[in-house]
Chain A
Amino acid sequence: MKMKLATMALGALMAAGPVMADLVFPDLSYRTGPYAAGGIPFSDGYNDYFTLLNERDGGIGGVKARVIECETGYNTEKGVECYEATKGEGALVYQPLSTGITYQLIPKVTADGIALHTMGYGRTSAANGKVFSNVFNYPANYWNGASLVVNHLLEINGGDLGGKKIALVYHNSAYGKEPIRTLEELSKKHGFDLSLIPVDHPGQEQKSQWLQIRRERPDYVTMWGWGVMNQVAIQEAANIRFPMENFIGVWWSGSENDVLPAGTAANGYKAVTFHNVGSDFPVFDDVQAHVVDKGLAAGAGDQIGTALYNRGFYAAMLAAEAVRTAQEIHGVADINAAMMLDGMEALEITEDRMAELGMPNFGPSFKVSCENHGGPGTGAMAQWDASAKTWSLISDFNASDMEVIQPLIDADSNAYAAENNIATRCN
């Protein structure tokens, strides 16, 4: 019997001893509370990737990565505490994960000169690097997501959505309301009818909403849900026999957690995603060999290959690549937060690089620039196979309609700049 806790305590003591060069990645995880089921796999993936780098390659550029996990329970106040507790440790980049904590941290990280990476969540208009110097949300944001859903429907319908009815079922909060503007613009452009169906938090009781859908018979339903709302919505959709292949969720409504409780009824449900799914990548063999088999896996170690695990894994990969870029730019291995910002702004992910990392086609290839912190806004469609219990991609990483989205991003970010007297940069 290994005394794991005791060794951990010892490890903590040793870490507190001499200050060694390390790269600090705070992980504001939420393994407890109402959204724990979503937080556990993400955090496991985030941790495992850095453990893999440390074990296999001895860190990034020879410097060990250190992940400081801090439990937020998806609660904004605990998030503040976590940020204040970890920022003094030399944190390079924050992944706050909750919308509330993100908004809270945007001005703070800017003042403290630390990078914030909100991958597929947070403030959409942060894609405008001219205004948001320290916030990055590559490779895709909510407005891209909305456009990607519509693009997928266009593809199915031979490029014409005229006269079709699309319903948006959304969590009645800032997060859930994100896609509305984009969808409204797109409905003008493509001539489909949009109906908005809000669900109040927490969303355990959605009978009214789904009766409304049953009455109005929309051709497609798209969902911006979170937590228990997802599971109930998918179950209710199955109950009213809504065809699952016409029901498309955003990436936060597209994890195994959301579809498994509904069982076979969820077969064919789709979700838009900005990274690949499944465990069929060479890198996961390394994870097995260097992390799991050594007993170093984060959490219970049973999440590998799930949608949210892959998302955490992908986030860690992007962070590590940004560190590498920063190391190249500055010629220093033990980089600081300011150098990390340069690395993130110059980040370029190519097909070759991903293949080299053992993650071919894991996400889109893209390049970040000073103006564009939002990446390419590409994404793919994933579909759930209830019998095999796996997600699989049914499309490539396609582009979203930036013609519609870019003006929206500019308008919102400029309003923020005006409200907070921020001078635009990158000129």
Chain B
Amino acid sequence: MFYREAGDFKTTYAADSQTFPIKFDRFRYYAVSFVAFLIIPFVINDYWVNAIFLPFLIYSIAAIGLNILVGYCGQVSLGTGGFMAVGAYGCYKLMTAFPEVSIFFHVLLAGGITSIVCVLFGLPSLRIKGFYLAVATLAAQFFLVWLFNRVPWFYNYSASGQINAPERTVFGIEVTGPNTEAWATYLFCLVFLTICALIARNLTRGTQGRTWMAIRDMDIAAEIIGVNPLKAKISAFAVSGFFVGVSGALFFSVYLGAVEVGEVFGINKSFLVLFMIIIGGLGSIFGSFAGAAFLVLLPVLLKNVLVGMLGWPTDLAAHLEFLIIGGLIITFLIAEPHGLAQLWRVAKEKLRLWPFPH
């Protein structure tokens, strides 16, 4: 009833090919942006921003990045943790080397550096396919972590081997360091997420996205119809690397503020982001958000319910969390094997027809 194309006539080509062609979708998108940009910043506090919003926003960027590579281009990657580390250490080196430049550009540049590194480790994808490709990215994961731990130049020869984000500002407002305001860090990350999501959405809708999907669906067939696999795969690695690098830079500079590579950017991180996009839905921008929300918000929610409201011992609650998350993943799968995004799509289909299902 509310959600339909009927009566929504397009009179120009531009209107026909806009990002959200259905009116209801468009308004929903405006509403979400309105709430995110103009309401949340005024009500947010330290707990909400540090425990919930920052991880959610940053993981969403990483998930979008990985989804481009895995979901759209079909190249399995288990090196996300390592690539995020490149973003983090790149950002740190830039922050300390050029303190007068705005952190905004440092984050973007860190993304660029990661993009190059990602392409480098993506080169074997031209020869190795499927699960086997994971070995190249796993090699990247372990090698990069080892490298950042081994070479003191990366952590500016500090005795502790940790990197600490110094205070940096955007338009005179602090976004890194301990004295930040909740709304500032939130908005800073939100801006990056919005930019990334817009880029990703439009890339995947256009020629580039179609080439990636052609490669994903069957690379030989794609080659025959004139898709250059080298260009397609490398560009997917580059774009994905950029997003992942940005998320790594934000993760270090804005969210944590201090990072030790092995602990924060270990193999677990790679698996976590991969789980996010699989649970959320491969090949879907919305799925990246949904997956990040599922794996970031659910544990916090469960913890607060089990420990905070029911007063259970913390260790029992933590074990139960695992049990419940595991159980939920399986239940969701049996209900809808293609991730949360597919659930959403099915719901939309239903809404289109409602209330006249025939």
* 0 or 1 for each of A90-128: is its CB under 8 Å from B? (1 = yes): 000000001110011011101110000000000111000
A416 to chain B, nearest CB (A): 8
Complex: A80 Cα to B309 Cα, angstroms: 20
**Which A6-60 residues have a C-beta within 8 angstroms of B?**
8-9, 11-13, 29, 31-32, 36, 40
* 0 or 1 for each of B301-341: is its CB under 8 Å from A? (1 = yes): 00100011111111101110000000000000000000000
Residue B146 is within 8 A (CB to CB) of chain A in the complex:
yes
Residues of A within 8 A of B258 (CB): 100, 103-104, 106-107
Residue B229 is within 8 A (CB to CB) of chain A in the complex:
no
Residues of A within 8 A of B303 (CB): 71, 81
Complex contact A85–B162 (CB within 8 A) = no
Complex contact B263–A100 (CB within 8 A) = yes
> Per a CB cutoff under 8 Å, which of B149, B164, B319 touches A420?
B164
**Which B118-176 residues have a C-beta within 8 angstroms of A?**
146, 149, 158-162, 164, 166-167
Complex: A42 Cα to B312 Cα, angstroms: 19
Residues of A within 8 A of B161 (CB): 173-174, 177
Determine which residue in A13, A77, A125, A415 has the highest number of CB atoms from chain B within 10 A of its CB, and name it: A77
Residue A201 is within 8 A (CB to CB) of chain B in the complex:
yes
Name which of B45-53, B64-72, B215-223 contacts chain A.
Answer: B45-53
Given contacts A172-B149, A174-B160, contact A32 B319 (CB under 8 A): yes
Residue A285 is within 8 A (CB to CB) of chain B in the complex:
no
> Per a CB cutoff under 8 Å, which of B166, B179, B260, B318 touches A419?
B166
Residues of A within 8 A of B318 (CB): 31-32, 71, 73
Given contacts A73-B318, A76-B263, contact A181 B178 (CB under 8 A): no
B60 to chain A, nearest CB (A): 15
Complex contact A76–B264 (CB within 8 A) = yes
Complex contact A8–B311 (CB within 8 A) = yes
Complex contact A71–B47 (CB within 8 A) = no
Residues of A within 8 A of B41 (CB): none
Complex contact A8–B312 (CB within 8 A) = yes
Residue A238 is within 8 A (CB to CB) of chain B in the complex:
no
Residue A84 is within 8 A (CB to CB) of chain B in the complex:
yes
Complex contact A84–B51 (CB within 8 A) = yes
Given contacts A71-B314, A84-B46, contact A99 B159 (CB under 8 A): no
**Which B176-198 residues have a C-beta within 8 angstroms of A?**
177-179
Interface size class of B (residues with CB under 8 A): 35 or more
Complex contact B51–A100 (CB within 8 A) = no
Interface size class of A (residues with CB under 8 A): 35 or more
Residues of A within 8 A of B162 (CB): 103, 174
**Which A307-346 residues have a C-beta within 8 angstroms of B?**
none
Binding site secondary structure of chain A: helix
Residues of A within 8 A of B315 (CB): 29, 31-32, 36, 40, 71, 299
Residue B245 is within 8 A (CB to CB) of chain A in the complex:
no
Complex: A69 Cα to B314 Cα, angstroms: 7
Complex contact B260–A173 (CB within 8 A) = yes
Residues of A within 8 A of B164 (CB): 103, 107, 416, 419-420
A374 to chain B, nearest CB (A): 15
Residues of A within 8 A of B177 (CB): 107, 420
- B residues with a Cβ closer than 8 A to A are 46-47, 50-51, 55, 96, 146, 149, 158-162, 164, 166-167, 177-179, 255-260, 262-264, 266, 300, 303, 307-315, 317-319
Task: Using A103-B162, A125-B160 as known contacts, list a sample of 10 further A-B pairs with CB atoms less than 8 Å apart, ordered by residue number in A.
Answer: A8-B312, A8-B313, A100-B260, A100-B263, A104-B257, A104-B258, A106-B258, A107-B164, A174-B160, A201-B262
Q: List 30 A-B contacts (CB under 8 A).
A: A9-B310, A9-B311, A13-B311, A36-B315, A69-B313, A69-B314, A70-B307, A71-B307, A71-B315, A76-B264, A77-B256, A85-B47, A87-B46, A98-B263, A99-B260, A103-B164, A103-B258, A103-B260, A106-B258, A107-B164, A107-B257, A123-B160, A172-B149, A173-B149, A173-B262, A174-B260, A200-B146, A408-B159, A412-B160, A420-B164
